[in-house]
Amino acid sequence: MDRLPPVRYPVGRDPSLALALIVLWVLALAPMLAALVWRTPVRSHGWALTAALVVASALGVWCTWRFWRAQTPGELVWNGAEWSLEREGVTVVIAHLGTCCDGQRALLLRAHGNIGRRVVWLWVGRAGQSARWHLLRCALYAPVPAMLT
């Protein structure tokens, strides 16, 4: 197949993202909860270590919450030549789209727009989209054809 067919795929919040972020929240809160339950850091290392654990845990929770809030609904579009992202009526052409994490049923993608150096993280889940899921994965992993000049 020389050209991949166009594909439109929904991006944003879905149950697999919620589960992944809950696991990250628990991992972020675990050191703080352990410090509070066992009070070992307080006895042996003082309040500095406890404060560091609290700050690190709070930062982890804040980062996962911010990522969740950034996952606004939209559509990732492959038109056969380039990627674009449609959100809230605005279409942005994506200069580079890369896969950061492939869980077979979900993907974490890193998109760079044509304007500016802003990076957008996109969560794409398979839920209920089996036919288009295969097309999306083919488009993501297919070699990019060289541009003719």
Q: Where are the alpha helices (DSSP H) in the chain?
A: 15-38, 40-45, 47-70, 130-141
- Give the distance, in angstroms, between the CA of residue 112 and the centroid of all CA atoms in the same chain: 13
SS3 readout for 67-102: HHHHCCCEEEEECCCCEEEEECCEEEEEEEEEEEEE
Please tell me the distance from the alpha carbon of residue 36 to that of residue 33, in angstroms, as a whole number.
5
Dump pLDDT digits (tens) for 27-55.
777 777 776 777 654 556 667 777 777 78
Are 9 and 132 within 8 A, CB to CB?
yes
| pLDDT computed for residue 40 by the predictor | 56
- Specify the pLDDT at position 149: 44
- Confidence (pTM): 0.73
- For residue range 81-138, what is the model confidence (pLDDT) as tens digits? 889 989 888 888 888 888 988 888 888 898 887 656 678 888 888 876 778 898 899 8
CA 20-135-7 angle, to 5 degrees, is 95
